Chain A
């Protein structure tokens, strides 16, 4: 019954809590093939990171005293991979009770203990855009995080300075969740069709616009009239107003070509020009329209046919979009795929013949642009964050092995030295040594948490079938 800490375990405790300490460090990576993505490939080159920032790129760099030196001879260094569509590190994913929930935010439910953070970094990922789910036409705000494994404070993994983003969703998901699944007799609500989706969008934007105008009017009046009455406070419309003001980047889950163009029309009517279409399996069919609008696309490498709206899609999507001038990224939307995004991007070489730099851009500078963080990450340039991934073998080869990953100069993944069991919190009661199951490359329905959300939600009002 009584047992006390041993010193080694105390040390472990200290080490774990140190994860909260320095989040910017120094390292010198020597003599690698550096894939800068924006400035070509540099052979036998050093990269120096000081205080979490890339300080120098060149040959024969001198290491300041006390700085770790990594001999990367024969290895490849690329910018830390950015996953523009993830659901890791979240306690909850879908507030699926309303078709518009702009007011909720993933920032409130970040979970830094999630093992997915480490496992993705073991595949070179340093930044993830972890998102609200696709149950609602206008879902919640997303969170851009850095893969600082070991941090226990949710705030510590936030990508400070990253622009706000919000999740929209079109097509089968919101129409099924709200319009087609009458939840235990509570009644279906708009939208049930793609027509309804458009009207929900327009209504939300219009209400947001009027709310914004009402507050502007009040603020003007209040300057001189102390008895001015402010409009009803509305968290949801506050966010819609912020979208209209251009302060929030829209990321829209979408598949069909027609709904993609529909959203561009709505956004055009309301003067919203920053949009990234997520998944966008049929984006290739309207690539000229997207290029004309300046819209971006963040797509799967090759998922298709799991729903009707992706039946007519092609793995050549990323290549077609790229060739038509649309800034495109490849994302994971999966706790399995995000561990080998370098391989997902490489598929664009088979499906459409993208060059090495074009393929690498799909998981580095392009998602950075889509998340508004391209000044900070996405390429190896002096002044950018020290987010790099080191590979044995070219990252686009099937035989490559990621070996080291750094976030702001802090080593977060080390293939050789990391213990097998990297959990920060360990369940004190669960049976030890049990089979838990797997996520496979096929499991693109939802992450585990999202399944739980939906089951909880629908079971509680006796709904039946969940896809």
Chain B
């Protein structure tokens, strides 16, 4: 923030000295003027923070019962049981009741890209069988970077849920563009951007009213773009080496966006909304040979062995199906009884058997839901490492869902790993974040109580060293969520 921008020079001499001082002070203000609290008019006095007497979990399975972590200018300088605290540190005393974890990493979502207001009807085109690329939802050359907005409500909401970093996918239909790594804080979009992987984002969303509209159309279109791009890439190479005698190869940014994917320098990040989309993604990958990352996989319990065998990096959805309405009125113990009472020998022969049929169907439904809830645990038990993706999930539901998954067999360490170390590894961030180690970015989440307990509160989140306190009334990870899921 230059002084010119902040204060246009006044011609009135009487004000000038005061203005100069103010200007100087403002000029001295570091651009991320958020060192202690969020109030930008209070001057920053220290860029080093120390959290002491806290239970620190540097990475899943490691615990420092009562320790200290120090970070300066957004980098962790020390972490341990006994650590020297710099004289100029802003000290936060954990009082032996706070826990500190590495800030969570959201493997894929639209956080930071606000939902477009009032979509209206999609534009009509003269020939819906051959629409312009943009109308068909095909803009792989676009980037989420240009759409980021730190003021998006989801950014703050995800921070309150403990997330500090995300892979942000652009919004759109089948090929909205390249995803970008981003910090969940910043005074402007550029400050959010993290350099690193920028995978091409792909989902099975057909265009509305034009080609391709259906999943099979989307798959064929993807193949078409990929194979034609492959041809053009070879032509480009031939042409640039020696153009003589050759026509200029056709060019458009859409096909060009595939070149790095074909060359193996860029992955394709595919969102699979249900089990069949998992199969479809893997089919395309086997046919075309690109490097793939798979996200979502809701209901993917039947594909566990196929996914495991493929070695594809995966991030599971944080979403869980709603509880059925009838179950909301039933006590937890009775639900267990209903589940246990399932009898696959029952036959509904006549009207006399209708009651028993209803009970049995309820049991089957509980069993089915248990499979969704237990899926993360199943993947873990099968040795498949995974991260978590929050796309399509409300931030306030995340921790309730995690607790359910843990209740159904996912260990807390595995859950934490998915949120931190696994995600960092999947996204190529392991050297910078995902754990609390000296030299890593100061992305931390501080809780009152052990992370996955029901009554645990997230009290503050640090993004690149900047503190964000949870608002007093929320920040509970517990059952304040209106949807008691």
Contacts and interface: CB of A to CB of B under 8 A. Distances in A.
Direct contact of A and B (CB under 8 A): yes
Interface string A178-195: 000001111101000000
B212 A97 contact: yes
A428 B324 contact: yes
A426 B324 contact: no
Contacts of B220: 101, 103-105, 108, 235
Given A6-B342, A98-B211, A229-B235, A12 B367 contact: yes
Interface string A225-268: 00101101111100000000000000000000000000000000
Nearest to B238: A227
Given A186-B209, A421-B364, A108 B215 contact: yes
A426 B339 contact: no
Interface in B359-386: 360-362, 364-372, 374
Contacts of A3: 332, 335-336, 339, 366, 370
A109 B217 CA distance: 10
Contacts of B362: 432
Interface in B184-238: 207-217, 219-220, 223-224, 227-228, 230-231, 235, 238
Interface residues of A, number: 67
Contacts of B238: 227
Contacts of A438: none
Given A1-B407, A3-B366, A235-B227, A92 B361 contact: no
A254 to B, nearest CB: 22
B224 A108 contact: no
B127 A189 contact: yes
A91 B216 CA distance: 9
Contacts of B9: none
Interface stretch (A33-41, A53-61, A456-464): A456-464
Interface string B280-311: 10010000000000000001001100100000
A458 to B, nearest CB: 7
Contacts of A236: 224
The residue among A3, A92, A109 with the most chain B CB atoms within 10 A of its own CB is A3
A91 B217 CA distance: 12
A17 B122 CA distance: 43
A112 B428 CA distance: 36
Contacts of B302: 17, 152-153
Contact of A109 (B121, B207, B215, B340): B215
Contact of A189 (B129, B230, B342): B129
A97 B128 contact: yes
Contacts of A100: 129
Given A108-B219, A227-B238, A232-B228, A92 B127 contact: no
B4 interface: no
Contacts of A66: none
A124 to B, nearest CB: 22
Contacts of A456: 213
B344 interface: yes
A2 interface: yes
Interface string A7-23: 01100110001000000
A386 interface: no
Interface in A410-430: 419-421, 423, 425-430
Nearest to A12: B344
B37 interface: no
A423 B367 CA distance: 13
Contacts of B31: none
B14 interface: no
Given A97-B211, A427-B365, A428-B368, A461 B128 contact: yes
A235 B224 contact: yes
Contact of A94 (B214, B246, B371): B214
B16 interface: no
Interface in B121-139: 121-122, 124-130
B358 interface: yes
A234 B227 CA distance: 9
B245 interface: yes
A419 B348 CA distance: 9
Contacts of B340: 6, 8
B3 interface: no
A214 to B, nearest CB: 13
Contacts of A161: none
A443 B151 CA distance: 52
B213 A234 contact: no
A103 B209 contact: no
A367 interface: no
Interface string A93-121: 01111111101111011010000000000
Nearest to A232: B228
A423 B159 CA distance: 41
B299 A460 contact: no
A426 B364 contact: yes
B224 A432 contact: no
A462 B211 contact: no
A399 interface: no
A131 B257 CA distance: 34
A462 B361 CA distance: 39
Interface string B232-271: 0001001000000111001000000000000000000000
The residue among B228, B303, B368, B409 with the most chain A CB atoms within 10 A of its own CB is B368
Given A457-B213, A461-B121, A153 B361 contact: no
A206 interface: no
A460 B212 contact: no
A224 interface: no
The residue among A92, A185, A427, A432 with the most chain B CB atoms within 10 A of its own CB is A432
The residue among B346, B362, B365 with the most chain A CB atoms within 10 A of its own CB is B365
A5 interface: yes
Interface string A186-210: 1101000000000000000000000
A73 B345 CA distance: 27
Interface in B308-364: 321-326, 332, 335-336, 339-340, 342-348, 357-358, 360-362, 364
A189 B274 CA distance: 35
Contacts of B326: 431-432
B469 interface: no
Contact of B224 (A13, A109, A152, A233): A233
B209 A461 contact: yes
Contacts of A5: 367, 370, 374
A103 B325 CA distance: 43
B218 to A, nearest CB: 9
Contacts of B210: 97, 186, 461
Contacts of B73: none
Contacts of A429: 321-324, 369
Interface string A70-100: 0000000000000000000001101111111
B209 A183 contact: yes
Nearest to B373: A428
A326 to B, nearest CB: 32
19 contacts: A1-B407, A3-B336, A94-B214, A95-B211, A97-B128, A98-B130, A99-B129, A101-B217, A108-B220, A109-B216, A186-B209, A229-B246, A233-B230, A423-B364, A427-B365, A428-B321, A432-B326, A457-B209, A457-B213
Interface of A: 1-6, 8-9, 12-13, 17, 91-92, 94-101, 103-106, 108-109, 111, 140, 152-155, 183-187, 189, 227, 229-230, 232-236, 419-421, 423, 425-433, 453, 456-458, 460-462
Given A92-B216, A233-B231, A235-B220, 5 more contacts: A5-B367, A5-B370, A6-B342, A104-B212, A433-B358
Interface of B: 121-122, 124-130, 207-217, 219-220, 223-224, 227-228, 230-231, 235, 238, 245-247, 250, 275-276, 279-280, 283, 299, 302-303, 306, 321-326, 332, 335-336, 339-340, 342-348, 357-358, 360-362, 364-372, 374, 404, 407-409
List the 5 shortest-distance A-B pairs measured between CB atoms, nearest first. Answer: A98-B129, A461-B209, A428-B369, A460-B208, A426-B368
